């Protein structure tokens, strides 16, 4: 059989993702029960959640606000009047025998999600974003099955991408971008381990240059960034091998088994459910009016892709900008530090300090940026002390460490420890002259071309000044004193 | 006349005046149920401790001089598709056998808060699917006018109980005529309010876009008193209308002068029964005599109503009944795997008519056929609504027969379609979301009641009560009482 890489030259993978995101509301989408992860089984239920006869859904308007944030953040068209529909199938975790979802009149359509790929923004179209309720959870203990309905009725948005991702890496990046965005606009914790962000992938391959899509398979249960990438890579390879062996791809749903690193047929096309969608007669159309849109618009922050581009325009390396926008709190920290910084040119330096010193210290202590003991304005003042030559970069790192640990103001630390940098040329010249005079042999060897000795002289000056000598001026003066 | 046949006002006034205790009302009614219901078959479940405590509380309040609520001490029954906390609720189906609800339907809570004494739950066609109460999985309810005949349905238990004096009033539900048709068959007043006028929270759904709760009573005034208590917005029901409720007692003016009574041609052309025709003619004449004006109107899409109804109602039913899976409550069959658990629980739990409608609805909603069936039926529904809108430009109220025949005998309807046709005059009202009232307007030569149906503009229940009150006093049953069971 041909090598995978060779096949990929001829065949193009096409991937579309369907991502479910739990919305972080206090109560469920159609009833007053609380939403929480990890509560005792069936403690977050009510007659509606249990699907008792006679119960009726009442839409939680708080859900709409969160969904609209995502709709606007993805530049989607928002339907002024969308509709809930019933999607029918039998399963013990689905108490009503149908899921309330949206079908032919979803809340959002034709939006896009911006991915940051290779230092650039790639725009992926979103076919739709619709609202629905989550199902409960079945667990099987030996021969006994248990149903926990705590999750039933938790609000979800389903985000459906256009089939225009072309590799497993892009698909994983789509998930990361969506994860970043929903956390950024504060509509979901999107913790994949808690099932707050879940992904199904539709995967097909077609000959390069062909417009028509190939037969797709649907992959379910790929609930980590790594699984998304592994499962899709695996599926692309599986399909290519079948085609290479002269076979045909069957339309089917496959379940990813992460521990085995394999997928298995879950149901074939023949076994597919007929969901019998129809508009839910218990719920009036969902109306979005101008004031509602306006209120949501006012709460939306600058979005990660826009901020990435602003940072790159401001002179940051794309990799640094990408890291900074990885999390809203980090980007906000950076912006706050810049705002507190006296000079316009500090962005790059501040970014370096944040990405190396601050993140290093936070990681070492297992802290998140939101709980950083060093507020952005203080870091900014410390960086200013380095930039204006009050202290050296090396001393700056020591001051950072102490200020981070004790909360003391950097300037106070510098003054107490007497570690201000010596930038006075006359004072440094006297020291340099004395050291050159005291080391005539080394001076001569350096003049004869032994370059490595320059470091010896710098070291002597630093030793003399306890590291406080301004390194730039020192270098300059040493060259002058040594004659090369 | 004995307590069993008193009106709401008579009971309430006597209790208020201290001439009657709620406990005595309860004892009397429970004794009558004991004596008569074995033959009538109206009740599926009787309350005990709860209703006794409620009666005692009313009597305590009166003794203490505290204000009494409007229905204090009024004995009522509830169709068994209305959810009652702590009292078995079956919807007439084996699949809900043994289910004790943990909550009250809004209408039940409102009745209890108004001081009504909930005697028990009354029989119905399984999940409201039927027109004779013969489709109950539990028992046969007889028509108190002639026990060889059905009481109508699906609210047949309530209509029979009200007619026979086994409660003062009953709450039924009406999806395609299920309050009005049994009311006509049993010679009582049945009111289906405007869709959204009364909360559906706690009403076991048959067809959600058509179901509505309403009263069955022995008088129009009693219907007004019951509606007053149950009507009004409920935040638990997204389809309930957030509009104020007028005073219905004030609607009973007895004055129809100048009102335009519309007679829809299609309803009279399709009427084969000469005695019903004659009773309607007499009713029209009585209204005209009292100053109303008769106008001929047309509802051209009437003949499509039955077809549209039997797409929409089964489609919604197939969805609403999906929750009965044997997992959480009700009947669970013995099975070794999930699929057979579903198939056996539902196979054993649902009766044949319910299964028929689930299959009809499942067929209508299947992928690729939605447009041809459900959507088309909704378009027909819009035409039917438009017909009514046009008719109400010419008329203030429409007057039609409630049913094409009087009460039929048990097992008289050989095919489902024959049974479906028992509702031809009542279905369109539900499709249009209008309020409708059936009021007795005479007896046939066999001594069976005949009902006149009044239809009004959405939310104009007051108009129905106003005209219905005049029909009742001018024509009515002229004091005739059912003689079939335990005469009083």
Binding-face residues of B in 121-180 toward A, CB within 8 A: none
Alpha-carbon distance values, A298 to A54, A293, A303 (Å): 39, 9, 13
Residue A206, SS3 per DSSP: strand
Chain B hits for A47, Cβ within 8 Å: 102-103
B154: annotated active-site residue = yes
**Tell me, what's the pLDDT at B11?**
97
Chain B hits for A50, Cβ within 8 Å: 328-329
Binding-face residues of A in 342-381 toward B, CB within 8 A: none
**Catalytic annotation, pick one of B7, B77, B79, B192:** B79
Residue B484: pLDDT band (50, 70, 90) is: confident
**Tell me, what's the pLDDT at A118?**
79
**Tell me, what's the pLDDT at A117?**
87
Q: Calculate the average pLDDT of chain B.
A: 96
Residue A171: in which H helix or E strand, if any? helix A168-184
Binding-face residues of B in 12-71 toward A, CB within 8 A: none
- Residues of chain A below pLDDT 70: 1-2, 344
Whether A52 contacts chain B with CB within 8 A:
yes
Residue B344: pLDDT band (50, 70, 90) is: very high
Q: What is the dihedral of CA A457, A458, A461, A462, to 10 degrees?
A: -140
Task: Determine the Cα angle at B322 with ends B316 and B323, to 5°.
Answer: 120
**Tell me, what's the pLDDT at A148?**
96
For B113-167, what is each residue's pLDDT tens digit?
A: 999 999 999 999 999 999 999 999 999 999 999 999 999 999 999 999 999 999 9
**Catalytic annotation, pick one of B93, B136, B154, B199:** B154
C-alpha–C-alpha distance, residues A447 and A81, integer Å: 83
Query: Which ipTM value was assigned to this complex?
Result: 0.96
Taking CA atoms, what residue in A is nearest to B323?
Answer: A96
Whether A389 contacts chain B with CB within 8 A:
no
C-alpha–C-alpha distance, residues B125 and A465, integer Å: 100
Phi and psi torsions of B78, nearest 5°? -130, 135
Length of chain B: 488
Phi and psi torsions of B340, nearest 5°? -75, -25
For B204-229, what is each residue's pLDDT tens digit?
A: 999 999 999 999 999 999 999 999 99
Whether A274 contacts chain B with CB within 8 A:
yes
DSSP B433: T
Query: Closest partner residue to B83 among A53, A59, A86, by Cβ?
Result: A53
C-alpha–C-alpha distance, residues B401 and A6, integer Å: 80
DSSP A253: E
Whether B365 contacts chain A with CB within 8 A:
yes
Contact call for A283 and B319, based on CB within 8 A: no
C-alpha–C-alpha distance, residues A163 and A212, integer Å: 11
Q: Which residues contact B345 (CB under 8 A, 6 or more apart)?
A: B95, B324, B325, B326, B331, B332, B333, B335
Chain A hits for B338, Cβ within 8 Å: 92
**Tell me, what's the pLDDT at A418?**
83
| Among B221, B227, B225, CA closest to B197 | B227
Q: Enumerate domains of chain A plus CATH numbers.
A: 4-296 (no CATH), 304-417 (no CATH), 425-482 (1.10.10.410)
C-alpha–C-alpha distance, residues A473 and A432, integer Å: 11
Alpha-carbon distance values, B182 to B140, B141, B387 (Å): 14, 11, 26
Distance of CA A278 to the CA centre of its chain: 36
HEC secondary structure over A271-322: HCCCCCCEECCCCCCEECCHHHHHHHHHHCCCCHHHHHHHHHHCCCCHHHHH
Contact call for B322 and A90, based on CB within 8 A: yes
| Among B133, B100, B128, CA closest to B320 | B128
**Tell me, what's the pLDDT at A468?**
86
**Tell me, what's the pLDDT at A341?**
84
B79: annotated active-site residue = yes
**Tell me, what's the pLDDT at B417?**
87
Query: Closest partner residue to A54 among B105, B207, B239, by Cβ?
Result: B105
Of all residues in chain B, the percent with pLDDT exceeding 70 is 99
Whether A54 contacts chain B with CB within 8 A:
yes
Least confident stretch, A271-275, B185-189, B288-292: A271-275
Kindly report the pTM of this predicted structure.
0.91
Taking CA atoms, what residue in A is nearest to B320?
Answer: A96
Contact call for A56 and B322, based on CB within 8 A: no
Task: Report the 10 Å Cβ neighbour count for A454.
Answer: 16
For B273-283, what is each residue's pLDDT tens digit?
A: 999 999 999 99
Residue of A29, A48, A49, A56 to mutate when probing chain B, most B C-beta within 10 A: A56
Residue-by-residue DSSP string for B367-404: TTTTIIIIIHHHHHHHHHHHHHHHHHHH-SEEEEES-S
Q: Enumerate domains of chain B plus CATH numbers.
A: 1-488 (3.90.1300.10)
Residue B470 has pLDDT above 90, yes or no: yes
In chain A, the largest separation of any two C-alpha atoms, in whole Å, equals 100
Residue B487: pLDDT band (50, 70, 90) is: low
- Contact in structure between B207 and B317 (CB atoms under 8 Å): yes
Residue of A282 and B478 predicted with greater confidence: A282
């Amino acid at each position: 059989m041909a090598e995978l890489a060779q096949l990929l030259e001829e065949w193009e993978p096409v991937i579309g993702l369907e991502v479910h995101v739990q919305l972080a509301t206090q109560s469920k989408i159609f009833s007053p029960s609380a939403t929480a992860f990890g509560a005792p089984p069936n403690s977050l239920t009510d007659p509606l959640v249990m699907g008792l006869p006679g119960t009726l859904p009442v839409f939680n308007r708080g859900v709409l606000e969160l969904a609209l944030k995502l709709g606007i953040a993805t530049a989607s068209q928002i339907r002024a009047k969308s509709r809930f529909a019933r999607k029918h199938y039998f399963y013990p975790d689905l108490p009503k025998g149908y899921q309330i979802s949206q079908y032919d009149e979803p809340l959002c359509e034709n939006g896009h999600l911006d991915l940051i790929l290779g230092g650039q923004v790639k725009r992926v179209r979103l076919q739709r974003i619709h609202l629905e309720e989550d199902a409960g959870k079945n667990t099987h203990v030996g021969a006994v099955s248990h149903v926990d309905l705590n999750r039933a009725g938790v609000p979800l948005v389903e985000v459906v991408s256009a089939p225009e991702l072309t590799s497993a890496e892009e698909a994983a990046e789509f998930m990361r971008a969506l994860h970043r965005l929903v956390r950024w606009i504060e509509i979901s914790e999107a913790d994949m381990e808690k099932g707050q962000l879940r992904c199904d992938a539709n995967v097909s391959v077609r000959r390069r240059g062909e417009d028509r899509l190939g037969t797709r398979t649907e992959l379910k249960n790929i609930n980590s960034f790594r699984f998304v990438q592994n499962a899709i890579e695996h599926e692309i390879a599986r399909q290519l091998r079948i085609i290479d062996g002269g076979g045909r791809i069957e339309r089917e749903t496959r379940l990813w088994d992460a521990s085995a690193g394999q997928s298995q047929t879950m149901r074939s096309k023949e076994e597919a459910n007929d969901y019998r969608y129809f508009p839910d007669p218990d719920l009036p159309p969902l109306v979005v009016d101008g004031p509602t849109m306006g209120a949501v618009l006012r709460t939306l922050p600058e979005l990660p892709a826009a901020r990435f581009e602003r940072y790159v325009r401001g002179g940051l390396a794309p990799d640094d900008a990408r890291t900074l926008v990885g999390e809203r709190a980090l980007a906000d920290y950076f912006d706050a530090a810049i705002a507190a910084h006296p000079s316009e040119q500090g962005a790059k330096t501040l970014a370096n300090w944040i990405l190396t010193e601050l993140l290093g210290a936070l990681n070492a202590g297992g802290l998140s940026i939101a709980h950083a003991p060093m507020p952005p304005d203080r870091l900014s003042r410390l960086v200013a002390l380095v930039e204006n030559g009050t202290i050296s970069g090396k001393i700056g790192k020591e001051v950072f460490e102490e200020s981070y640990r004790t909360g003391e103001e950097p300037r106070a630390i510098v003054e107490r420890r007497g570690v201000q940098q010596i930038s006075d040329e006359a004072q440094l010249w006297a020291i340099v002259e004395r050291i050159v005079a005291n080391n005539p042999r080394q001076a001569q060897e350096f003049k004869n071309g032994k370059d490595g000795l320059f470091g010896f002289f710098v070291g002597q000056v630093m030793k003399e000044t306890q590291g406080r000598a301004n390194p730039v001026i020192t270098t300059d003066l040493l060259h002058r004193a040594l004659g090369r | 006349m004995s307590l069993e046949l008193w009106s709401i006002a008579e009971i309430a006034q006597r209790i208020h005046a201290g001439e009657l205790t709620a406990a005595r009302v309860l004892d009397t009614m429970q004794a009558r149920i004991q004596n008569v219901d074995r033959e009538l078959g109206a009740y599926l479940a009787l309350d005990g401790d709860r209703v006794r405590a409620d009666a005692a509380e009313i009597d305590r309040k009166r003794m203490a001089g505290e204000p009494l609520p409007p229905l204090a001490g009024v004995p009522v029954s509830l169709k068994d598709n209305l959810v009652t906390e702590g009292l078995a609720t079956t919807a007439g189906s084996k699949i809900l056998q043994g289910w004790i609800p943990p909550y009250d339907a809004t209408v039940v809570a409102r009745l209890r808060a108004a001081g009504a004494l909930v005697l028990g739950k009354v029989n119905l066609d399984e999940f409201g699917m039927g027109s004779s109460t013969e489709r109950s999985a539990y028992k046969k309810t007889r028509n108190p006018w002639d026990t060889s005949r059905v009481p109508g349905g699906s609210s047949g238990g309530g209509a029979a109980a009200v007619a026979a004096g086994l409660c003062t009033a009953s709450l039924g539900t009406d999806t395609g005529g299920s309050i009005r048709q049994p009311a006509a068959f049993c010679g009582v007043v049945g009111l289906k309010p405007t869709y959204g006028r009364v909360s559906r929270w706690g009403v076991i759904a048959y067809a959600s876009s058509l179901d509505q709760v309403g009263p069955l009573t022995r008088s129009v005034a009693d219907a007004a008193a019951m509606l007053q208590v149950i009507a009004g917005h409920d935040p638990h029901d997204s389809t309930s209308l957030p509009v104020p409720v007028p005073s219905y007692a004030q609607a009973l003016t007895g004055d129809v002068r100048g009102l335009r009574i519309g007679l829809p041609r299609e309803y009279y052309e399709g009427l084969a029964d000469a005695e019903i025709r004659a009773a309607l003619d007499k009713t029209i004449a009585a209204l005209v005599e009292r100053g109303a004006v008769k106008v001929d109107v047309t509802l051209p899409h009437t003949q499509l109503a039955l077809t549209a109804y039997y797409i929409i109602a089964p489609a919604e039913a197939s969805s609403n009944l999906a929750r009965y899976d044997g997992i959480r409550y009700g009947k669970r069959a013995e099975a070794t795997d999930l699929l057979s658990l579903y198939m056996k629980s539902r196979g054993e739990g649902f009766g044949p008519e319910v299964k028929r409608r689930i299959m009809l609805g499942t067929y209508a909603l299947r992928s690729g056929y939605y447009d041809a069936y459900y959507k088309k039926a909704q378009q027909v529904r819009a035409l039917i609504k438009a017909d009514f809108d046009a008719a109400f430009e010419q008329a203030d109220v429409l007057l039609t027969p409630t049913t094409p025949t009087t009460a039929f005998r048990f097992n008289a309807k050989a095919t489902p379609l024959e049974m479906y046709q028992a509702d031809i005059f009542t279905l369109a009202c539900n499709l249009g979301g209008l309020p409708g009232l059936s009021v007795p307007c005479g007896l046939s030569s066999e001594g069976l009641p005949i009902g006149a149906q009044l239809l009004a503009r959405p939310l104009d229940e007051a108009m129905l009560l106003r005209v219905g009150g005049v029909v009742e006093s001018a024509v009515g049953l002229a004091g005739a009482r059912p003689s079939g069971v335990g005469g009083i």
